[in-house]
């Protein structure tokens, strides 16, 4: 049945968290009709018992594409019936009013390629609000910064944009790490991403992420993104930012010599790159990667 909004929720063996995610969508009280598509990735279809409001539906499907987040998201997109597509990871939640605020912004800004919101991080002990620097973000803005205040669960697209000029989630990206940044880079190449600059998505950051500590994957995926988006290299500070992230990931993975090489490259492009300096210090065992990560995460930041 045709609806207005389809929300794609990929999941893998996290039924309790996934149920909370689904309930946070159904509790939005949005005035549009919608559906929640739970995409079960390499696990049985077990749709949770939830209260479904009038005009909405919940269904489960299997990931029929590449195993992992990218394939699961794409399976949901292709199976959707809504004019609009939104995402939510199975360990995150939408906060009250999130969807309605985005729908209102979309009505106000029909020219925008995507509508996003800001977020709040929950590390299990404290919460950290992460807003975005400005409400209208161009392609150059995303080249210069990932704008980490925008999680994947904050994005709302028109379905025809994802099936057309922007395209689906990149299934070749190693372990789909950075798929949201890749999507934002591609989307912003076709128009403005506008942000409802309120923390309307709660991201749990308590070590339950399937990416947690996967440093070799981080490094591989970031190098893939540099090859895929060569325009990053046109801005030295932007190139240095990602090179520093690669350097940190490599030294955290024990690849000290290679990490130092990336770190020096990053500092040549951007002498203010603190991550690169930290990577060099870690490579010489002056400080541990775990200590740096704990310090950064305690302040609601990421590497």
pLDDT at 207: 58
- How much is the pLDDT for 211? 46
Residue with tokens 């999130």: 98
Q: How far apart are CA 270 and CA 268, in angstroms?
A: 6
Confidence of residue 55 (pLDDT cuts 50, 70, 90): very high
User: 297 or 101: whose pLDDT is higher?
Assistant: 101
Q: Render pLDDT for 225-276 as a digit per residue (tens, 0 to 9).
A: 999 999 999 999 999 999 999 999 999 999 999 999 999 999 999 999 999 9
Helices (H), the chain: 15-26, 69-79, 98-108, 139-144, 159-162, 179-188, 215-228, 236-252, 256-269, 274-283, 289-298
Closest to 198 measured CA to CA, from 157, 158, 156, 154: 154
Q: What is the pLDDT of residues 250-261, one digit of tens each?
A: 999 999 999 999
Question: Does residue 98 carry a pLDDT above 50?
Answer: yes
Residues composing the chain: 303
In the predicted model, what is the mean pLDDT of residues 126-131?
Answer: 94
Confidence band (pLDDT; 50, 70, 90) for 213? Answer: low
- What is the pLDDT confidence band of residue 212, given thresholds at 50, 70 and 90? low
Q: What is the pLDDT of residues 99-127, one digit of tens each?
A: 999 999 999 999 999 999 999 999 888 89
Please tell me the predicted confidence (pLDDT) of residue 205.
83
Mean pLDDT, the chain, integer: 94
CB of 41 closer than 8 Å to CB of 11: yes
pTM comes to 0.94
> What are the residue ranges spanned by the domains of the chain?
3-204, 215-298
Residue 133 scores a pLDDT above 80:
yes
- The answer to whether 77 and 163 have CB atoms below 8 angstroms apart is yes
Q: Can you tell me which residue has the tokens 């049945």?
A: 1
Taking 70 as the threshold, does the pLDDT of residue 87 lie above it?
Answer: yes
pLDDT at position 210 over 60 = no
Question: Can you tell me the mean pLDDT for 185-200?
Answer: 98
pLDDT given at position 303: 72
At 300 the pLDDT is: 73
CATH of 3-204, one of 3.30.572.10, 3.30.70.1110, 3.90.550.10, 3.90.226.10: 3.90.550.10
When pLDDT is averaged across residues 174-178 and rounded to a whole number, the result is 93
Q: What is the pLDDT of residue 297?
A: 77
Q: What is residue 294's predicted lDDT score, i.e. its pLDDT? A: 84
Cβ neighbours of residue 164 under 8 Å, at least 6 residues apart?
Answer: none
Q: How far apart are CA 83 and CA 106, in angstroms?
A: 12
Compute CA distances 221 → 88, 170, 181, 263, whole Å: 21, 11, 11, 17
């Amino acid at each position: 049945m045709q609806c207005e909004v389809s929300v794609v929720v990929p999941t893998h063996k996290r039924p309790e968290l996934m149920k909370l995610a689904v309930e946070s969508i159904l509790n939005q009280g949005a005035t549009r009709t919608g559906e929640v598509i739970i995409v079960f990735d390499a696990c049985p279809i077990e749709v949770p018992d939830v209260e479904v409001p009038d005009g909405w539906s919940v269904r489960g499907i299997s990931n029929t594409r590449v195993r992992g987040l990218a394939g699961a998201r794409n399976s949901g997109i292709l199976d959707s019936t809504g004019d609009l597509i939104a995402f939510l990871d199975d360990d995150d939640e939408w906060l009250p009013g999130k969807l309605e605020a985005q729908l209102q912004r979309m009505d106000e800004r029909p020219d925008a390629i995507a509508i996003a919101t800001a977020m709040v991080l929950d590390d299990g002990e404290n919460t950290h609000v992460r807003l975005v620097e400005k409400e209208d973000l161009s392609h150059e803005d995303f080249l210069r910064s990932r704008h980490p205040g925008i999680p994947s669960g904050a994005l709302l697209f028109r379905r025809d944009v994802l099936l057309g000029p922007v395209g689906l989630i990149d299934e070749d990206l190693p372990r789909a790490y950075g798929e949201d940044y890749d999507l934002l880079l591609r989307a912003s190449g076709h128009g403005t991403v506008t942000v409802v600059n309120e923390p309307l998505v709660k991201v749990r950051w308590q070590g339950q992420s399937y990416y947690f500590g996967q440093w070799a994957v981080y490094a591989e995926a970031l190098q893939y993104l540099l090859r895929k988006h060569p325009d990053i290299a046109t801005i030295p500070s932007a190139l240095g930012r990602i090179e520093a992230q690669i350097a940190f990931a490599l030294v955290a993975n024990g690849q000290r010599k290679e990490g130092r090489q990336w770190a020096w490259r990053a500092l040549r492009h951007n002498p203010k790159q603190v991550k690169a300096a930290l990577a060099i210090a870690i490579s010489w065992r002056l400080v541990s990667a775990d200590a740096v990560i704990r310090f950064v995460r305690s302040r609601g930041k990421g590497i």
